[in-house]
A and B are shown apart, each in its own frame.
Chain A
Amino acid sequence: MKKPELLVTPKSVDHIKALIEAGADAFVIGEQKFGLRLAGEFNVNDVEQATTIIHEAGKKVYVAVNAIFHNDRLDDLDDYLKDMQRIGVDALLFGDPAVVMAVRELGITIPLHWNPETIATNWFQVNYWNERGAKRAVLARELSLDEVVEIKENANAEIEVQVHGMTAMFQSKRSLLGNYFLYRDEVMEIENRKENKNMFLHDKERKNKYPIYEDLNGTHIFSPNDMCLIDELTELFEAGIDSLKFDGVLQTEGYITTVTNCYRQAIDAYFDNGEDAYDEMKDELLEKIEEIQPAIRPLDTGFIFKETVY
């Protein structure tokens, strides 16, 4: 059996070194102008620097170009893709078919990862985008374990699954926070708060707290819990999922590093020493994560063991 890749999201160039040390295999970076809901903001120079560091360590770097593009960003997208080709990153994450078109037109040879988030729900779509150049598909987080496994069984592309962290529930193009303050005649409020992304919506009925922030792409709202599958990885290992992702958006560097290391230990235990070794240590790893888990962010297992109806 092949070890799955451990994919993480660094917050800064310096953070990458700590994460390499902690055992990460691959990194998602980028900037909000082209990528969605990133843990850190990396301009082209940062990407170049990061790529050098990551490649020297023998690891992989993926750049997010998975925004929903409007006409006004297409020209810049072309330039950006050319920069990425020059830098030699290992993959580009996309959701919008405009990226497929641009890559074809410009003769970009970087592999594509299909990552439209909520709508990657069945294996047919995975294979459809595979035929159009996607080497990997990043599955929607709203799928159950059975659905994930069945997709993997039928997919011609690599499969990436999120195992830890927050998930996005909502993206609006509108400036919903800004509008709320404007409505109350408090224009300055949102401008002052744009950088520190620590606002949340309180849903009194469900006693949930949903992180919310605004950026160039509009307003984003996140899940009330952090998903955590550290003690539930066996079936994903057995299914041969190619990449396990920990999305560190809105988390601190220290938290991301510690959690990355926990997943490193889990993967190594299972693949180097067998299932028993993993079973023996998984509760301890979970406890370790629970210790540093912010009180405002309860852990759960996402939709992996939850059915949705419609």
Chain B
Amino acid sequence: MLQLIENEKIRKVVNGKRVITKKPELLAPAGSLEKLKVAVHYGADAVFIGGQEFGLRSNADNFSIEEMREGVEFANKYGAVVYVTTNIFAHNENMDGLEEYLQAIEGAGVKGIIVADPLIIETCRRVAPKLEIHLSTQQSLSNWKAVKYWKQEGLHRVVLAREVGAEEMLKMKQEVDIEIEAFVHGAMCIAYSGRCVLSNHMTARDSNRGGCCQSCRWDYDLYENVGGEEKALFNEGDAPFAMSPKDLKLIESIPHMIELGIDSLKVEGRMKSIHYIATVISVYRKVIDAYCADPDNFKIKKEWLEELDRCANRATASAFFEGEPSYKQQMFGFHAPKMKWDFAGLVLDYDQTTNMVTLQQRNYFKPGDTIEFFGPEIDSFKMEVGQIWDEEGQEIEVANHPLQIVKFKVDRPLFKFNMMRKENK
């Protein structure tokens, strides 16, 4: 680990024991109200959501102002806060309606917005001054002087470019007193964010207004032009040229990030399932809490890492935090999905006297399947499914209707919002 500056704001020694005084915020994505509730329930300190305009995920389910209000109420009840991403680079035609929109967000009780375009920064300051303004990663913020610039412009927080390493973050923290948010988990652009218009050219969809088609993940053939002759730079059977990055995973670097004093640790993925959000957030929650409670005796548990892998369908890597990424942090050739567990059900209720769980089915399962329950109140456990009944009390051979309500016996107590996953054979 790097040489760290003494900083009372981050850590101090109490009775000869080192303690962390500054716990970073764990920031979760939420593409819907249900996801927001799950994120908060599984330990997020903050969630970021998209509104119906000015955000970069035009396909993700986005929130209406009404839903934002409900989401904020729910989050606040648990001491969590909500941010709204409004991170497009606007074209002239996108400028209408911005003021009303920002005022509505402010009115819904949202704590801050995540912004890239100075148009939205300045408009927000003017018409919705209660909102915090966070600079989006779309501005590719990569050095401390630029951080200082945005601090002078009055921003509350900056989200760094994904290309920034640990040592660079340390310098930024030393030079500028501003909140820093950094990505810790999820899919990432292989380009500097905001500096890729592959999709504009290939599909006429504007990536800086949410239209990215992930053109970087397609396969290309590499050639060289030698005096007008085209020469292939690959051999028969070689994997094609690819720019697909492995997904970011910094679970093992969390202690390092906490020691750097990073203010917010961000998980990416507003389009991901509630199973993904629950799994990722709960694991990061455990790591942050365990490290902050006793940094000197902290050890990452194998079961946490295994748990995190249960919702991964792509290979993962640490990208730039631990140094310049090599080819090992990219994906070449064909990689089979590696998801070993599927989300199979959401606990709605548990009857202590009959030991019966009431579950909303989210994926096909049947008696004899190996399943696992997990959730913030329980230690994960595996079991084999016995008899299953439907809502009317009729025994069924298989739970194969999406969102079907079913009941079966589980010996250990469960809680609302616990989740059930099924092993993929």
What is A's interface to B at a CB cutoff of 8 Å? 68-71, 73-74, 96-98, 100-102, 117-119, 121-125, 128-129, 142-143, 147, 150-151, 154, 169-180, 182-184, 189, 193, 198-206, 208-210, 212, 218, 221, 223-224, 295-296, 303, 306-310
Contacts and interface: CB of A to CB of B under 8 A. Distances in A.
A150 B91 CA distance: 10
A97 B139 CA distance: 10
A122 B119 CA distance: 8
Contact of B221 (A102, A143, A202): A202
A310 B117 contact: no
A297 B330 CA distance: 30
What are the nearest 5 A-B pairs in CB distance? Answer: A310-B211, A179-B327, A97-B149, A98-B145, A124-B119
B220 A309 contact: no
7 contacts: A71-B144, A98-B146, A119-B117, A122-B89, A122-B119, A170-B198, A202-B223
A306 B205 CA distance: 11
Given A122-B119, A171-B192, A296 B225 contact: yes
Given A118-B195, A151-B92, A199-B222, A70 B200 contact: no
B226 interface: yes
B271 interface: no
A150 B205 CA distance: 21
Interface residues of B, number: 73
B143 A69 contact: yes
Nearest to B319: A174
B145 A173 contact: no
A70 B58 contact: no
Contacts of B149: 97-98, 100-101
Contacts of B326: 179, 182
Given A124-B119, A173-B163, A180-B222, A71 B204 contact: no
Interface string B122-160: 100000000000000011101111101110000000000
A171 B91 contact: no
Given A68-B142, A74-B144, A174 B222 contact: no
B80 interface: no
A74 B192 contact: no
A124 B209 CA distance: 16
Interface string B313-326: 00000001000111
Contacts of B144: 71, 74
A143 B91 contact: yes
Given A174-B325, A200-B223, A307-B204, 15 more contacts: A96-B142, A102-B145, A119-B89, A122-B117, A129-B118, A142-B206, A172-B190, A180-B222, A180-B332, A184-B238, A193-B224, A199-B223, A199-B225, A210-B220, A309-B206
Contact of A98 (B143, B163, B196, B208): B143
B241 interface: yes
B206 A199 contact: no
B163 A150 contact: no
B201 A224 contact: yes
Interface string B73-98: 00000000000000001111111000
Given A97-B146, A122-B92, A170 B332 contact: no
A310 B202 contact: no
B221 A119 contact: no
Contacts of B332: 180, 183
A198 B326 CA distance: 23
Contacts of B58: 310
A121 B220 contact: no
Given A98-B146, A124-B118, A179 B330 contact: yes
Given A309-B205, A310-B206, A183 B117 contact: no
Contact of B140 (A68, A204, A295): A68
B191 interface: yes
Contact of B116 (A119, A203, A208): A119
Contacts of A171: 191-192, 195-196
